[in-house]
């Protein structure tokens, strides 16, 4: 099927009924917040942000709406709970605490921010939201909004949507800026696919820098070390895509490459991981399949997800000492649990480190305990055949390294 035909048929924008329902419930909550603010005589501004305010919300099972309460002074941010005390909410911990109100399939996030006149005054990235909303609303039109919806759907299906640390992908604002620059999903896709392996993609929408050299000097390494630099048009010292990792970028590029080679609507469909299919893959190749269930007690969301993702990567490093990982899939459930699905193949052997040669008695004991020994750089080593399953290795590992696991905020490991 031709590329243009596929893209033309796709539609991820909200219909009038869905949009009006979100609009009505948002207006109702805003009314309650403003009434509470008036009674308390708190000097704040309230504005709706996020994708809904910018007109870039896409059709999904549930919707998020961000409502920002702008305080003039940082010391007053905590008074937000006085404003919402009569509402049913949950507190979410992060770089700055915010609050969540759930209304069926609609999730409101009430976020305290500083009321600033210049982005340089921001104490937290959320303080820039007011500028981001106004910029995007000024720059997009219905045609670009549709391209943004296509891109968000593709990125979600690819698993690269979101700047959270356990995803290290591209945020909603990042997608919006990309399409303001490229204008169409097709142009953006081709630019990423055709990019050179060793060269960063650098985007300065409003040409705030004279040249790339000035840009790189102005941005420190933590902001410019990734595969893409997208200068925030509202704050030129900030890279909108600073969270994007090379691993996530390469995954996105590969998915875009496949789509361009063989256009199909399936690339825009977010699907749950087919665990049975992975099991079948392992069975056909006569390899070991494992499900590693992980649990933490840290705050759900970015904190819990990041802790579990970080630990899963650490666990894979340990497994690779004995096994080749054929396939790995990490899934975070957005609460306090995650699963790591693995297909592994044992290495022929692993090298066991022994004592230095000068330790005569220890070397004698090592040789008596290990059949195949050899010397390298003044130390004794042994080649050990791998006869144990990965499941038994992990069960032994979680007992042996219980303190290390606890220090990484993982409270439970179960291997199936």
CA dist., res. 105 & res. 128, Å (int): 27
Distance from CA of residue 206 to its chain's centroid? 27
CA dist., res. 286 & res. 158, Å (int): 28
User: What pLDDT was estimated at residue 153?
Assistant: 95
Residue pLDDT tens, the chain, 416 long: 688 888 888 889 888 898 999 999 999 999 999 999 999 999 999 999 999 999 999 988 889 999 999 999 888 888 888 999 889 998 888 778 899 999 888 999 999 999 999 999 999 899 999 999 999 999 999 999 999 999 999 999 999 999 888 889 999 999 999 999 999 999 999 999 999 888 899 999 999 998 888 888 888 766 777 899 999 999 999 999 999 999 999 999 999 999 999 999 999 998 888 999 999 999 999 999 999 999 999 888 888 888 999 999 999 999 998 999 999 999 998 788 999 999 999 998 888 889 999 998 998 999 888 888 999 999 999 988 888 999 999 999 999 999 999 999 999 999 99
Which CA distances in Å does 192 have to 8, 140, 253, 319? 21, 21, 6, 33
Residues 254 and 369 in one domain: no
Burial environment of residue 18 by CB neighbours within 10 A (0 to 12, 13 to 18, 19 or more): middle
Residue 163 lies in a domain: yes
Residue 22 lies in a domain: yes
Residues 280 and 404 in one domain: yes
Residue 216 lies in a domain: yes
CATH number of the domain that residue 59 is part of: 3.30.460.10
Token duo for residue 274: 């087919």
Per residue, the 3-state secondary structure of the chain, as one string, reads CCHHHHHHHCCCECCHHHHHHHHHHHHHHHHHHHHHHHHHCCCEEEEEEHHHHHCCCECCCCEEEEEEEEECCHHHHHHHHHHHCCCCCEEECCCCCEEEEEECCEEEEEEEEECCCCHHHCCCHHHHHHHHHHHHHHHCCHHHHHHHHHHHHHHHHHCCECCCCCCCCECHHHHHHHHHHHCCHHHHHHHHHCCCCCCCEEECCCCCCCCHHHHHHHCCHHHHCCCEEEECCCCCCCECCCCCCHHHHHHHHHHHHHHHHCCCHHHHCCCCCCHHHHHHHHHHCCCEEEEEEEEECCCCCHHHHHHHHHHHHHHHHHHCCCEEEEEEEEEECCCCEEEEEEEEEECCEEEEEEEECCCHHHHHHHHHHCCCEEEECCEEEEEEECCCCHHHHHHHHHHHCHHHHHHCCEEEEEEC
Residue 34 lies in a domain: yes
User: What pLDDT was estimated at residue 260?
Assistant: 95
Residues 179 and 279 in one domain: no
Residue 409's nearest CA partner among 308, 320, 341 is 308
Q: Which residues contact 341 (CB under 8 A, 6 or more apart)?
A: 273, 275, 278, 289, 290, 291, 292, 327, 328, 329, 330, 331
End position of a domain, from candidates 138, 153, 178: 138
Kindly report the pTM of this predicted structure: 0.85
User: What pLDDT was estimated at residue 196?
Assistant: 87
User: What pLDDT was estimated at residue 222?
Assistant: 63
Residue 3 lies in a domain: no
User: What pLDDT was estimated at residue 76?
Assistant: 83
CATH number of the domain that residue 173 is part of: 1.10.1410.30
End position of a domain, from candidates 225, 244, 271: 271
CATH number of the domain that residue 377 is part of: 3.30.70.1550
Residues 119 and 149 in one domain: no
CA dist., res. 275 & res. 190, Å (int): 32
Structural domain span for residue 355: 350-383
Residue 237 lies in a domain: yes
Overall domain count for the chain? 4
CA angle 57, 61, 138 (to 5 degrees): 0
Distance from CA of residue 297 to its chain's centroid? 19
End position of a domain, from candidates 250, 271, 292: 271
Residue 28 lies in a domain: yes
CA dihedral 351→352→356→359, nearest 10 degrees, is -150
Residues 224 and 291 in one domain: no
User: What pLDDT was estimated at residue 221?
Assistant: 67
CA dist., res. 143 & res. 56, Å (int): 11
Strand partners, 103: 106
Taking the alpha carbons of 281, 343, 153, 261 in that order, is the dihedral positive or negative? Answer: negative
Residues 284 and 159 in one domain: no
């Amino acid at each position: 099927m031709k590329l243009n035909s596929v893209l033309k048929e796709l539609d991820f924008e909200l219909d009038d009924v869905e949009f009006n329902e979100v609009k009505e419930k948002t207006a109702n909550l805003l009314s309650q917040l403003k009434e509470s603010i008036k009674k308390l005589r708190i000097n704040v501004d309230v504005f709706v942000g996020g994708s809904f305010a910018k007109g870039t919300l896409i059709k999904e099972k549930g919707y998020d709406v961000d409502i920002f309460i702008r305080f003039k002074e940082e010391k007053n941010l905590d008074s937000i709970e006085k404003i919402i005390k009569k509402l049913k909410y949950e507190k979410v911990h992060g770089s700055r605490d915010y609050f969540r109100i759930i209304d069926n399939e609609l999730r409101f996030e009430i976020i305290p921010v500083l009321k600033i006149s210049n982005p340089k005054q921001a104490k937290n990235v959320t303080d820039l939201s007011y500028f981001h909303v106004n910029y995007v609303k000024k720059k997009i039109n219905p045609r670009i909004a549709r391209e943004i919806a296509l891109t968000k759907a593709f990125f979600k299906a690819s698993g690269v949507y979101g700047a959270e640390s356990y995803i290290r992908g591209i945020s909603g604002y990042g997608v919006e800026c990309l399409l303001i620059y490229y204008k169409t999903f097709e142009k953006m896709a081709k630019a990423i696919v055709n990019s050179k392996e060793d060269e960063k993609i650098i985007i300065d929408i409003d040409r705030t820098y004279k040249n790339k050299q000035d840009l790189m000097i102005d941005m420190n390494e933590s902001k410019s070390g990734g595969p893409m630099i997208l200068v925030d048009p509202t704050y030129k010292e900030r890279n909108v895509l600073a969270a994007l990792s090379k691993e996530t970028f390469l995954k996105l590029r590969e998915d875009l490459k496949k789509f361009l080679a063989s256009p199909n609507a399936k690339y825009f469909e977010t699907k749950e991981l087919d665990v049975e299919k992975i099991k079948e893959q392992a069975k056909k190749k006569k390899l070991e399949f494992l499900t590693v269930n992980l649990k933490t007690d840290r705050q759900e969301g970015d904190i819990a997800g990041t802790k579990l993702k970080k630990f899963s990567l650490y666990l894979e490093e340990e497994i690779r000492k004995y096994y080749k990982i054929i396939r790995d899939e990490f899934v975070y459930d957005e609460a306090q649990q995650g699963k790591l699905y693995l297909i592994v193949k044992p290495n022929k052997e692993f090298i066991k480190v022994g004592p230095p040669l000068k330790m005569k008695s220890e070397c004698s004991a090592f040789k008596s305990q290990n059949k195949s020994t050899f010397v390298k750089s003044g130390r004794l080593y042994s080649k050990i055949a791998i006869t144990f399953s990965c499941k038994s290795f992990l069960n032994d590992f979680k007992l042996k390294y219980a303190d290390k696991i606890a220090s990484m905020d993982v409270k439970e490991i179960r291997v199936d």
